[in-house]
Structure formats: structure tokens, C-alpha cells
Amino acid sequence: MTSRHRSFENASSGPDVVYIGHFEPDGRAEVLEAIAATGLEVELYGTRWDEAPASCAWIRTQTVEPLTGEAYARKLSDARIGLVFLSAHNSDVWTRRCFEIPACGTLMLAPRSAPLEAIFRDGIEAVYYDDAASAAQLAVRYSDDGSSREAIASAGRSLCVAEHSEVQRAEQILQAFRRHVGGGEGG
């Protein structure tokens, strides 16, 4: 990844869990509520969280603001665990965060999906949850188990740097474009 998405000084010195992104009524509020109910320190940033259900007591106590640029990358780097949600509205199979979180040297906790598991191996380069209860259980486990958390985070970062940088992604797009217009690799 580029210089923005990297480990900063004092990595893992911030909250146990962070999510930076928008609200969507797809279960993400319930996952955050379940994790917060464990007593872990959870930080939430983003937009539209005022639309979360009234039953989301923890979310209702948060002052949620957007976080962008270097502050976004630093917060990811500071957290022990970075949460990912896949937007049902956008039909996501992965998002930028799936690469930015590990690139910042943070363990990625994401919903289990075949496309993500084809990129990041479960328990080796990322960790996947099946529902709110398993997300909370895994967040507690990896918040407490620093050596396993750091090993997975490091392996995820290595994979992102080696295979999923912005430059590599741009080259893939350029190659696909060239194939589409009939120019081949040199077109």
C-alpha cells in the first residue's frame, strides 16, 4: 500500500475495536452493539449513524463524526482490531477497508464471505465472523491474545503490500481496459 496506509508509531495503542464507515440497516449496528456489550473499548466514526435503530443503546451514546485522510489511517493503525462490513446496498464482495485495515498493520475482523476468504485466509491474514455473537466472541479473543492478533495483522499487511497496493490495482485496471479495447498488453 502507499505511504498513507501503513503502521504508524504506537500501533495497537488505541481502542480495542474501531469501525470507520457509514450506517446501513444490514446488521452492522447489531454487531457493534454486541462487541460494545463485551466491555471492549469500541470507537465508531462515519456518517448516518443517527439512522441506527433506537434500540441500539450504545450507538445512541456515541458522538460519531467522519474520519478521513491521515487521521483515518492513524486511527486504523492505533486500533487492535478494525471492523469491516460489506454493504448489501452496494452489493459489496469487498471494500477498500478490506485492504486499508491490514495495510495499516491492524487485524481485520470481517463478515465471512467466499470472495474475501479467497483473498485473506481465515485466522492467518484476517479473521471472519458469522453473526453478531461470533463477532463479539472473536473481538474479545483477539483483543486479549496479542501474539495471535499481531501475527495475523502482520501477515495481512504483508499480503497487502505484496499483492494489493493501489499501484498494483491500477495496473490491473489498465490491463483490463487494454484487453477490453483490443489493445492487449502493449495497446
- Domain range summary for the chain, segments of one domain joined by +: 17-180
**Domain 17-180 belongs to what architecture?**
3-Layer(aba) Sandwich (3.40)
Per-residue confidence (pLDDT) for residue 6, from 0 to 100: 43
Per-residue confidence (pLDDT) for residue 25, from 0 to 100: 95
Per-residue confidence (pLDDT) for residue 187, from 0 to 100: 47
pTM of the model: 0.84
Per-residue confidence (pLDDT) for residue 168, from 0 to 100: 62
Per-residue confidence (pLDDT) for residue 61, from 0 to 100: 95
pLDDT tens digits, the chain, 187 residues: what are they?
A: 455 444 546 555 689 999 999 999 999 999 999 999 999 999 999 999 999 999 999 999 999 999 998 899 999 999 999 999 998 887 788 788 899 999 999 999 999 999 999 999 999 999 999 999 999 999 999 999 999 999 999 999 999 886 655 666 566 667 778 888 875 555 4
In 3-state terms, what secondary structure has residue 28?
helix
Per-residue confidence (pLDDT) for residue 12, from 0 to 100: 53
Length of the chain measured in residues: 187
| Secondary structure letter of residue 122 according to DSSP | B
CB neighbour burial string for 136-161, b if at least 16 within 10 angstroms, e if fewer: bebbbebbeeeeebbebbebbbebbe
